[in-house]
Structure 1
Amino acid sequence: MKTRKRIFWITSGVILLIFVGFFFVLISGMPDLTELENVNPAQVTRIFSQDDKVIHELFVYNRVWIPLDLIPDHVIKAALATEDRDFFHHWGINVKHIPRAVWVNLRSLGFRQGFSTITMQVARNLFNKKIGFQRNILRKLREILTAIQIERTYSKEEILEMYLNLSYFGRGAYGIQSAAKKYFNKEVSDLTPEEGALLIGLLKGPAIYSPIRHPDRAVARRNLVLHNMVVCNYLSQTEYDSLKQTPLLTATEEGVLGIAPYFTEYVRQQLNALQDSLNVNVYEDGLRVYTTLHTAYQAAMDSAIRKHMPALQERVMEHLKEWKEENEIPDSVFAEETEVQIAFIALDHRNGHILAMVGGRDFEKSKFNRAVQAK
């Protein structure tokens, strides 16, 4: 009898220790309350010219945060219809979907069927380093518990805003605004229903449903999203029949990014030197940096260099031709060693503001800025 009691208590103790150990492993990978209440995802810092054009961007993640009220209603409905139809009726997890997911996964002896809600996806996107990347039970439990805490901390509208701004849409675009610019070269507020449906369709697999690499898949996925909107009474059948026939039209993102690489690199270096004293992170804080450069002056300087540089290069090579032949210099070496470099700065004489800058012939070949670094 005593032996049985001893075995019982030992077994109970071992089970308790295993449970306590598992509990501590579980909570060790979860965000604390302070992290949940102070969500601050990395955003793009934009550098502007004095004529109010974006000339460069600094970022870890290409994300521009956009408020929910600036996102078209049809985009929000497409997300709800496709990703989480019961979003406004659950508390972070949808218990109706769990039994089916468990059954499918048991039959396949793997993780083939998920039951993630929008809130669970927000938890994963916000705290993926803590929650983990591997598809296992531990990660899923952390996801569930974090999602429940998010629901207790934020309103449904705030969670939706986070979801649409945090999600990855492929091609380096994080958030619906960056995706709208990347795929359609427009603001998210200008998206049409079929364009919004295509972007929401990317959430399942940005590489698989890429409109650039797999246009047929992208259209099929877009039309599925539109069909989901019909099922949820967000679209009429007539609207769906019309929209699904719309051809796939994407656009290359335009702008003046890269117009003054030597200048923007100079600005980046100045920002790096200042960020500690200003208590900012120039790569994550979504700053708007205004400069004195004017794109018209920069374009004129670049045009003049392109126009006159070939003649200058030819004069130098002609002048050194005899030296090349005397020393039997190979053509490839001669061309590289005699490449003419250039440096220009246009200043406003009234205040010393830099209006345009060129620090070399080719920024990709040499980032050394001869306009400000040469001694």
Structure 2
Amino acid sequence: MNLMLNLLKKFLILGAFLIFICFSMLIYFLWKVSPELPSYNELKSYNPSLTSRVFTSDGLLLDKYFIQERIFVPINRIPKNLIYAFISAEDKKFFEHIGIDPLAIIRAVFTNIVNNFSNKKMIGASTITQQVVKNLLLTNEVSLERKFKEMILAVRIENILNKEQILELYLNDIYLGYGSYGIAAASLNYFNKSINELTLEEVAFLAALPKAPNNYNPITKYSNAIERRNWVLQKMYENGYISAAYLQYKNKPLIVQDRYEEQFKEANYFKEEVRKELYDLFGKQALYEQGLIVKTSINTKLQKIADHVLISGLINQDKKNGWKGVLANIQKLIIEDDLLKNIKNPFPDKWAVYQINKISELILEVINSKGEHNTIDLSSDDNKWLIKEKFNIGDVFFAELIADQLTIRQIPKINGAIVVIDPHTGKVLALSGGFSFELSEFNRATQAKRQPGSAFKPFVYIAAMKEGYTPATLILDAPYVVDQGPGLPKWKPSNYTDKFYGLSPMRTGVEKSRNLMTIRLSDKIGMEKILDTARDFKIGKYMNNNLSMSLGSGLVTLLDLTNAYAMIVNGGKEINPSLITSVYDKTGKQILINEIKKCN
């Protein structure tokens, strides 16, 4: 009996000593790591990285900017079954614990000791709160120190945030595979649905992903994904969130739907101008992380017309200069050659690279990079401009399939741009900055400074009318000679027709674009007054008072020149070209407005 008492006494003393040692180590650890812990107050005002989205004037998605593709959803708009699924899968005592689950930790410690000796998989005991701490405040480092920090912060966070706020952070931040951050992005990427449209088995699948999304990929690891999804459904039943009747959802297949958004995929030059303007207005962080909603002025119908007109116009003009030759001639089949790596396709969705493998008079038998065979008829309307050209087996060139017929293409050496503006509001309805954005991102509508030529003449005549001239005022159309100084030839401008027409009404000078009338009028009223008018119309920045400026030898961008003409249409009232009509922050608050209302 005494022996038993002595053993019990020693055991109690040893136990007390071990508890004291553990407590002392805990105090020391808290003293050591507390100063190193990151501030958790920032979670109160946590702003997750969100996707900014840009829309056309008719509501189609035009572009989006993000670092992590995420759509923020407030906790009160997240379906209950989705919340219950994640709680069942990740932390069934979430609404009961203080940030950590001591019993789960003890169970995990003993289980992992056993598993370590039996080479079984380790298990975790992290609560949802701990996962929020790890994802937002700590790193993924695997160490005891990081784990202790995680537990300390989890307890602290439970004292400053309620359970709903912690869930909101967790469900909007967690990575769920397929490039999806948060449940809203995952719902779209896996099922092409909003979270409110998800069925129970789809909800259970999303809740199965946090531990290891790649291990439950529904395409490459379908059986694993089904097994894990069914495990979540079973847990939801065991935790009382669904009835036994819903366990039949285990038998449903897992059907992944490609994400589809009604997106306007053209207008690359317009998109880039919008992006640059937003970047200048709000900065990189706001543009790529704050979930801005941007409405633009682009009219998709007009943009398609502008793109088609510009591209076809440049192609047809280039045809007049003849065939510039093939891209290459190779003896191997194109599908076996590395040539394609060095060929830049201006329109990957429309043009393809073809190789001739047989020639029969005016018929070329060709093969493309995918190994598909086709024929080209050189006598067809679109190809007959090449009917006299000599082609050889192995020749490689671009071709476009139009109405089941292949049309040979070549990249034009010339380039151009188109701008369409609403003259009453300044809205840019369409903008094409070049032949191909794939070949050149240089925007010839906004960046290229070119001589306007005769397009500048109307502003000379506007300046004259401001000085009291009328359309009926007679201006002499006769030779005009300017002495440019010693050693320089005399400047002798002429009309396009090389003829002289004597005294003519001023309106004829505009209608017939008469150079000599314009020069003489400019000399009479003075270039300074013409430059003042140009500045009023916002096209005088790159001009000086040389007389040749009146014939359009200065520099101007196409966008500025188009806007100047729009102001003429607008009765001389000032407008500013705008691509962005309004911008809203993630809460729906309007932070930018460029709308100008029309007056009837």
Q: What TM-score do you get using the length of structure 1 for normalisation?
A: 0.81
CA contact (8 A) 2:314 2:415 kept: no
* Structure 1: tracts of 5 or more residues without a match: 1-17
Decide whether aligned partners of structure 1 residues 249 and 273 sit closer, same or farther in structure 2, where only a CA change above 3 A counts: closer
- 2:268 matches 1:261: yes
2:134 to 104, 124, 133: 124
Task: Indicate whether 1:315 and 2:310 are aligned.
Answer: no
Q: Aligned letter for 1:123? A: V
Question: Comparing 25-34 with 309-318, which one deviates more in the overlay?
Answer: 309-318
Alignment of 1:181-220 (within 5 A): 181-220=188-227
2:425 aligned counterpart, secondary structure: coil
| Structure with the bigger percentage of helix | 1
Residue matched to 1:369: 443
Evaluate the alpha carbon distance shift between residue 237 and residue 33 of structure 1 in structure 2; reply closer, same or farther with a 3 A threshold: closer
Question: Are 2:300 and 1:290 aligned?
Answer: no
Unaligned residue ranges in structure 2 (runs of 5+): 1-24, 329-388, 390-394, 399-408, 450-600
- Amino acid in structure 1 at the alignment position of 2:427: H
Give the alignment of 1:270-281 within 5 angstroms. 270-275=277-282, 281=286
User: Secondary structure of the equivalent of 1:55?
Assistant: strand
Distance 1:242 1:20 in 2: 50
Contact 1:29 1:132 in 2 (8 A): no
Which segment is superposed worse, 48-57 or 175-184? 48-57
Q: Aligned partners of 1:221 and 1:71: how far apart in 2? A: 22
**Structure 1 residues 367 and 26: alpha-carbon distance in aligned structure 2, compared to 1, 3 A threshold:** farther
Match of 1:354 in 2: 428
| 2:241 aligned partner, one-letter code | Y
Sort the Cα spacing of 1:44 and 1:310 in 2 relative to 1 into closer, same or farther, 3 A: same
Equivalent residue in structure 2 for 1:148, among 146, 152, 155: 155
Task: Give how far 1:303 is off.
Answer: 5.3
How far apart are residue 167 of structure 1 and its match? 0.6
Alignment RMSD (CA, Å): 3.3
Greater strand proportion: 2
Which has more radius of gyration?
Answer: 2
Q: CA deviation at 1:331?
A: 6.8
Give 3-state SS (helix, strand or coil) of 1:356's partner.
strand
Q: Residues of 1 paired with 2:251 and 2:165: CA distance? A: 31
SS in 1 for 2:54: strand
Count of residue correspondences: 346
Q: Which residue of 1 aligns with 2:122?
A: 112
Query: Which residue among 38, 41, 45 is the counterpart of 1:38?
Result: 45
* Alpha-carbon offset, residue 263 of structure 1: 1.5
Q: 1:116 to 1:320 in 2, by over 3 A?
A: same
Q: CA deviation at 1:117?
A: 0.5
Q: Which amino acid aligns with 1:87?
A: F
Q: Distance in 1 between matches of 2:308 and 2:202?
A: 37
Q: Find runs of 4+ consecutive structure 1 residues off by over 6 angstroms.
A: 18-21, 330-333
Rounded to whole Å, the distance in 2 between the matches of 1:270 and 1:21 is 54
Tell whether the 8 Å contact from 1:47 to 1:54 is kept in structure 2 after alignment.
Answer: yes
For the Cα contact (< 8 Å) 1:78–1:200, is it kept in 2?
A: yes
How far apart, in 1, do the equivalents of 2:414 and 2:219 lie? 39
Given residue 350 of structure 1, which amino acid in structure 2 is its aligned partner?
Answer: H
Query: Contact 1:357–1:371 at 8 Å: present in 2 too?
Result: yes
CA contact (8 A) 1:184 1:253 kept: no
Q: 1:331 to 1:159 in 2, by over 3 A?
A: same
d(CA) in 2 for partners of 1:300 and 1:244? 51
CA contact (8 A) 1:345 1:371 kept: yes
Residues 1-20 of structure 1, C-alpha deviation per residue, up to 9 Å, x if partnerless?
Answer: xxxxxxxxxxxxxxxxx999
Percent identity (aligned): 35
Deviation for aligned residue 1:355: 1.4
The counterpart of 2:235, out of the listed 228, 231, 236, is 228
| Greater mean deviation of Cα atoms: 251-260 or 161-170 | 251-260
Residue 187 of structure 2 aligns with which residue?
A: 180
Contact (CA 8 Å) 1:44, 1:64: kept in 2 or not? Answer: yes
Residue in 1 aligned with 2:384?
none
Which whole-Å CA distance do the structure 1 matches of 2:142 and 2:211 have between them? 16
Note the C-alpha offset of 1:367: 2.3
CA distance in 2, matches of 1:140, 1:257: 47
Query: Which moved further from structure 2: 212-221 or 38-47?
Result: 212-221
The superposition leaves residues 13-52 of structure 1 with CA deviations (integer Å, 9 ceiling, x where unpaired) of: xxxxx99996576335532243232212211111122223
Classify the secondary structure of the residue corresponding to 2:208. helix
In structure 2, do the counterparts of structure 1 residues 232 and 39 end up closer, same or farther at CA, with 3 Å as the change threshold? same
